[in-house]
A and B are shown apart, each in its own frame.
Chain A
């Protein structure tokens, strides 16, 4: 039993191989056409999962190029888990090293953004803190104020304008030439049911990372300022509020979340 499954699985992933011995049909002792139904099912399922998860990347390079790239990835990195929503987490890194895609240097980072969108889509639920509660918390001491950020938050930084490129290829904005080619930091989040993608202001990713790591507001601002001298706190607080990223606030370890504990 062990042997037949090993031989069957190996032949499925290698189109050069014949059906393994013992695989028959009522008409043939080596039913290549019948066996290739399984081979085709596997490839269509794996590449189909990538097509569904990376539609903007696919649009950038075209269906045919994407299919070839997806087949190469599926052959070298088939899924390790039956939970297919996680399949393709390693696809962006594969794209980066995929020689034929070298002429599209931003492709891997757009794929990173798309992979992050799926993770955010399936992330745990959490209710964003009401705006007035957050405003109220911000009036206290910044040295002791800590935020619990939404579990869906993903940050993707790139030396290419990936949010602009993604938006154009996801049908969010018109496709147009990009005049000012600058790196962009993407914020992916899902405050309720819909996944949102934003271009972050300068230094925001480091600021959010620090907050997510448990740093109090004042310390997170100091970290951001050290890394990005032009870091604009007001602009970043607007993002924090507008994107509904905060699900709880604490002071020096004392819980003061949206459940109603006072600050």
Chain B
């Protein structure tokens, strides 16, 4: 397969929100790339495309799909694949990513990233879909680990092994959302650091960081992946551990709801950038120490 994906720069990017456009356009921003939800740019023209053209000329771009339903048991939506291909051809983004999730069934789009059981059958089906999408788009895609609230009794494969095998079979890269790991770990009672130790980091080509909130149900506390608040310090600490092990990676601050003023979001990116630089330095120091010994 011909791969036209050059990859994102190894810095900190920000999810683009139209309300920030004026502030962003005022001066060059200390942002390595901007990420947009592909589906929001599937109109013909107007302001969304004017914004995207502006960003394209000045920054690296990541397209993040939320509607392909790659984990669906039904065939992929060819019309949607065609829309994605057209958008990718129009803007040549440095990266295209989607989710290990499903969102459509029986012709209905449910507009949420829904979980799937991890079995040999679902693994084979998702791998076929990833392969089909990559062939159709003529580029590799990155697949993101989900934040989940329920599990399936029939699951037989750990999520980390499922993603590793998917990447191996389809050749796709992975997008590691550390907030999703943190949220799922709390919701399912596992240890986030152990999950990350098992995660196939060599396949990771982008990291997502976001905020969540805590709530309760009849079974006790749970976390909701809400993208409406700052990244918590526990997630930043896990991020540093990942970078120390994996080396610097393109990293995105996602903030989709209750969107703050641009300076606050830019400050969030600066915080992540400090962590990225510190962890990269620690890694080098560690490597030098090893070399000297």
Contact = CB atoms under 8 A, between A and B. Distances in A.
Interface of A: 1-2, 4-6, 8-9, 12-13, 19, 21-29, 31-38, 41-42, 45-46, 49, 78-85, 120-125, 151-152, 190, 193
Given A9-B110, A25-B188, A84-B111, A123 B219 contact: no
Contacts of B153: 21-24, 29
A115 B104 CA distance: 24
B52 to A, nearest CB: 12
Contacts of B105: 5-6, 8-9
A45 B109 CA distance: 11
Interface in B15-70: 39-40, 42-50, 66-69
Contacts of B187: 25, 34
B43 A122 contact: yes
Given A22-B117, A84-B111, A122 B150 contact: no
B67 A41 contact: no
A80 B218 contact: no
Contacts of A29: 153
B44 A151 contact: yes
B73 interface: yes
A2 B219 contact: no
A33 B216 CA distance: 8
19 contacts: A2-B74, A4-B152, A6-B106, A12-B114, A22-B117, A23-B152, A24-B152, A24-B153, A32-B218, A33-B216, A34-B150, A34-B222, A37-B217, A38-B149, A46-B111, A49-B111, A82-B109, A83-B67, A190-B46
Nearest to A194: B47
Contacts of A152: 46
B44 A123 contact: yes
Chain B at the A interface: SS class: mixed
B128 to A, nearest CB: 12
Contact of B220 (A27, A32, A120, A190): A27
A25 B105 CA distance: 23
A125 B46 contact: yes
A19 B149 CA distance: 12
Interface string B102-127: 11111111111010110001100100
B151 A81 contact: no
Given A19-B150, A25-B219, A35-B149, A79 B112 contact: no
B94 interface: no
A27 B219 contact: yes
B39 A83 contact: yes
A13 B125 CA distance: 25
Contacts of B66: 82
Given A34-B149, A85-B42, A45 B108 contact: no
Contacts of B189: 26-27
B73 A80 contact: no
Nearest to A119: B43
A5 B72 contact: yes
B45 A125 contact: yes
Contacts of A13: 108, 110
A1 B217 contact: no
B77 interface: yes
Contact of A82 (B69, B117, B217): B69
